[in-house]
Amino acid sequence: MKLSELKKGTRAIVESVNLEDDLKKRFSAMGLSPGIILRVCRRTFGSDSLHVKVECSSCLALSKTEASQIKVTPIGKGMCLGNRGKSEQSEHFCDSEDCQMKADD
Contacts with another protein, residue ranges (CB under 8 A): 19, 21-23, 25-31, 33, 35, 41-46, 48-49, 51, 53, 55-63, 65-66, 80-81, 83-87, 89, 91-95, 99, 101-104
Bridge partners, 63 (sequence order): 49
Collapse the DSSP code of 104 into the 3-class scheme (helix H, G, I; strand E, B; otherwise coil) and give the result. coil
Cβ-based nearer residue to another protein, 74 or 85: 85
Cβ-based nearer residue to another protein, 1 or 82: 82
Give the amino acid at 7: K
CA-nearest of 79, 60, 78 to 70 is: 60
Q: Please report how close the Cβ of residue 105 comes to another protein at its closest, in angstroms.
A: 10
Using alpha carbons, list the distances in angstroms from residue 68 to 32, 33, 41, 65, 71. Answer: 14, 14, 16, 5, 8
* Segment holding 38, helix H or strand E: strand 37-43
Cβ-based nearer residue to another protein, 10 or 57: 57
Cβ-based nearer residue to another protein, 58 or 73: 58
Q: Please report how close the Cβ of residue 73 comes to another protein at its closest, in angstroms.
A: 18
